[in-house]
Chains A and B, each alone.
Chain A
Amino acid sequence: MSAPRLTKGAVPATRGVVGTSMRRVDAAEKVTGAARFTGDLVVPGMLHGRVLRSPHPHARIARLDIAAAERMPGVQAVLTGGDLLGATFAGTDPYYGHAIKDRPIVAIDRVRFAGEPVAAVAADDLAAADEALLAIQVDYIDLPAVTTVQAALAAGAPRLHEGPLRPGLFHGLGELRLEEGNICYHYHFARGDLNRAFAGADEVVEGEYTFPAVYQYAMEPHTVIAQWGADGLTVWACCQHPYLVRAELADVFGLPLSAVRIIVPYIGGGFGSKSYTKMEPITAALARKAGRPVRIVNRVDEAMVTTRRHNMTCTMRTGAMRDGLVVARQCRIWLDTGAYADNGPRVAATAGDAAPGPYRWQAVDVDAWAVYTNTPPAGSYRAFGAAHLSWIGESQIDALARKVALDPLEFRQRNLLRPGEEVRPGGKPLDADLIGDVTKVAAAIGWGGPKPPLVGRGVSVGLLTAGAHPVSTAAIRLQADGTAVLLVSTSELGQGARTVFTQIVAEELALPPDRIRVMGADTLFTPYDRSTGASRSTTLAGKAVQHAAVNLCEQLLEIAASAWGLPRASLAVRDGAVWHETERLSYPDLIKKHFGMVGGELIGRGEVRPQHGTGSYAEGPVFWEVCVGGAEVELDPQTGQIRVRRLASVADVGKAINPQLVEAQEEGACLQGLGNALFEEMLFEDGHLVNGSLLEYRVPTTADLPDEFRSILVENADGPGPYGAKGVGEGALAAVPAAIVNALADLGIDMRQLPLTPERVWRRARELGLAPRRDRS
């Protein structure tokens, strides 16, 4: 732990811990193996659960015989859909889903995707559970399956969900209604007169684009331990949103909120894959049937069919004037949300919001549909929506720039929104300097400098609605010895939330960081935080933490003022004490004075809530996260292989509370962006995942690193978080594919399908007459 610099003299606006790259508070535990993840915990009496998953994308379950499995040695319970409708589960709603309650905890009579849970076994050990799965007999009758969006939308396609639609607790999208056929959700907005704007445009570009399904690959697969007791249900889970999981489990099992307790140990990466409710309901149901605690750990192949990124088809056209001003854009987006809604409606809305890009339009018209298919459910993955749309919109911006003979950077500088301009009607005005950001990123990749042959450069700019719902609370317990315990329910999944919060408390309370302790969420004790996602934690939970610390300072000043009989304004907090000129009362002294004896503690509380409206992020967003990137690539025309020579991104964070952690977020997001751009793709054949292991699904390794990487920190103190901070960590994932696509277009190769595999690039180059033919006659 590095020693904080505590300022001497009058209390300045900052005390020096915020803005430094303080070492992570969790690093020592993590480098020694002491850090505990959910799968490292053992609850007394705990059984091991395994899930039997459907081998069919769409089928009726004609017979499900568990008798032999139940008799096997070591087997304690076998859960099926029939149980959920029976007496053991009276009062339980067998369906869940935070957006739409369309998903059975375990299949009831019918399976809708290959990989859907059909039964679950709890046994004394995993080997016994695995063997029992083999003894479960299931007769399936295949039903016609729709495994692509096109098939799902065809006339006469079998319908996956007949309704009635039951809205979930947390869709945040106004009124949901049952849509036609297999449409799960439709998002639409339009402004201006589209036909007129296009009719007046000098240049129009248009195209159809496809984006693959992608696996988030949080290295720790979904892991849950569930235990029932006299007080209700306790769950240890690697979940990003413990309070939303608590509410959903309470809803499903018919319990009061206070009877469900969610404890979140360290999380081995999330990236959206652990947002909302995933394996918690089935684990809790299995534990209930077994009457013992149960742990379920997904394997990687199971994690891949638990949630994924939406694959997408999109058509877009964009028009501009010869003088270099954009006028209109129309975009239609079809997102494959798989068999159940999961976060599909929100992804559709966010994709729609990302479609126009941060430009000044006369008219825009956007439709986004989330469509049910017989494939594994799709949900959140870092920068969803923007990652889907940025590369498309930005490639059309570049194409138009070329048509009107303008440098793509200059074209953007002419058209980008400026700070304070409206991004969408009624929403938050732009709170970032995009022109400054893209100019910086262009410089970082040598924009305008000489280019060797077969080297192209591209930049990209986008916006991501960020912050999600602005409700967070925090409490700080100042102990009798002057140490502090911060209670906050943000999940630590690698982003460094505990470290950043420690810095905020240290700053406000004038305490050394090593006298502050912050633990993970335990919903029985740590106060409400809406979620850990949408880049919201530093901005919103951090603000609640700051308010709690300020509240505590006020209490300390009040006690000191009363003890000294002096006005509060003449006092200041410094070095773990309240000061009046040269006199000081330490925090332990103040606590002792307050309680009149040794012991006791002071509790500071802070909250963040929406100032207006409902706090839905349709009204926001809390802030706009920028997606700004630049890439320089080199093409091997013989193979279609792309080498990324230079990569740069902008972290427009308002204020970097910990610059090193910001940089770390950028680096990670950029490399995931590179994987999404160049090779990551879940491959399905007739609804079956055919690359369901890390042998066949490739993620970036050190061998894929660009030759040079720069993340540019921009601190304009223009965010709504503490010290002007705003979130970071997602935008680069959307920016990088867009920049790489544009760098390739700079070489004349306009790509309309991700990932940019060598084969696809080579074929496109050949179509365009740009790749050499190798005749071997």
Chain B
Amino acid sequence: MDGRAPSMRIALTVNGRPVEAAIEPRELLLDFIRDRLGLTGAKRSCDVQVCGVCTVLLDGQAVSACCTLAYEARGREVTTIEGLAAGGHLHPLQEAFIAHAAVQCGFCTPGMILTAATLLQDVPAPTPEQVKAYLKGTLCRCTGYWKIIEAVVAAGRRTQEARE
């Protein structure tokens, strides 16, 4: 730190664990989770809420952590990619991204998976068209998206089958 003492305290839940921390008023959620908590799965790229690589879930909703103040997360539940796999088991989306080669450089992958996870909450078994429409705000420069769409559709189908 540069001598300016962090001036606010917040309490929140991160990946199911309670966290209390002193933060600066201007501190971004992305810097908070990456620099203070060491959770570096969320990445920084565009800084203007276009690319989606910084996506985390705030009370289950996908937000761009690069444009969200850490203070806004007080009293709320943050889920990062590190918290998606429950009890040592990969989330169906994580498994599907591996199986369908929906991962290339991996820089967009955490944000893409978390965004897709919010789609599956609302639409458990989406069609390719629904996935396409939902993911249009999350960029990937490597894959051409086809394999990502396949992976999300497959994960949805699998989750639905498991429920039936």
Contact = CB atoms under 8 A, between A and B. Distances in A.
Contact of A671 (B4, B109, B133, B145): B145
A765 to B, nearest CB: 28
Interface in B107-135: 107-110, 113, 131-133, 135
Interface string A39-63: 1100000000000000000000000
A300 B46 contact: yes
Interface residues of B, number: 58
A140 interface: no
Interface string B83-125: 0110000100110011101011111111001000000000000
Contacts of A494: 104-106, 142
A334 interface: no
Interface in A693-733: 693-695, 699, 701-703, 705, 709
B45 A219 contact: yes
A273 to B, nearest CB: 10
B16 to A, nearest CB: 15
A125 B1 contact: yes
A73 B47 contact: no
A24 interface: yes
B69 interface: no
A684 interface: no
Interface in A178-236: 217-221
B40 A33 contact: yes
Interface size on A, as a range, is: 35 or more
B81 interface: yes
A217 B139 CA distance: 10
A122 B94 CA distance: 38
A705 B1 contact: no
B109 to A, nearest CB: 5
Contacts of B146: 667, 705, 709
Contacts of A26: 103, 106
A36 interface: yes
B82 interface: yes
A83 interface: no
Contacts of A39: 40, 43-44
A21 B101 contact: yes
Contact of A27 (B81, B103, B133): B103
B105 to A, nearest CB: 3
Nearest to A36: B40
A220 B139 CA distance: 12
A676 to B, nearest CB: 12
Nearest to A73: B3
B103 A30 contact: yes
Nearest to B97: A31
Interface string B48-61: 10110100000000
A695 B149 CA distance: 24
Interface stretch (A12-20, A263-271, A475-483): A263-271
Contact of B43 (A31, A37, A125, A694): A37
B147 interface: yes
A739 to B, nearest CB: 15
A300 B50 CA distance: 12
Interface string A573-586: 00000000000000
Contacts of A694: 45-46, 48, 50-51, 139
Contact of B48 (A29, A267, A670, A695): A695
A289 B41 CA distance: 32
B3 A268 contact: no
Nearest to A127: B2
Contacts of B42: 33
Interface string A95-138: 00000000000000000000000000001110110000000000
B97 A705 contact: no
B60 to A, nearest CB: 18
Contacts of A552: none
Contact of A74 (B3, B104, B106, B145): B3
A299 interface: yes
A495 B104 contact: yes
A30 B109 contact: yes
A73 B51 contact: no
A493 B34 CA distance: 22
Nearest to B104: A494
Given A217-B141, A709-B146, A701 B136 contact: yes
A211 B69 CA distance: 41
A672 interface: yes
A23 interface: yes
Contacts of A693: 46-48, 50
Given A33-B41, A494-B142, 15 more contacts: A31-B90, A32-B85, A33-B81, A35-B106, A39-B40, A125-B2, A218-B105, A266-B105, A661-B101, A664-B144, A664-B147, A668-B144, A670-B144, A701-B139, A705-B145
Interface of B: 1-4, 24, 26, 34, 39-48, 50-51, 53, 80-82, 84-85, 90, 93-94, 97-99, 101, 103-110, 113, 131-133, 135-147, 149
Closest 6 CB pairs of A and B: A33-B41, A74-B2, A494-B105, A268-B107, A30-B106, A667-B144
19 contacts: A29-B106, A31-B81, A31-B109, A32-B81, A37-B43, A127-B2, A219-B43, A219-B45, A219-B105, A268-B105, A269-B107, A269-B142, A493-B105, A496-B104, A694-B48, A694-B139, A699-B141, A701-B145, A709-B146
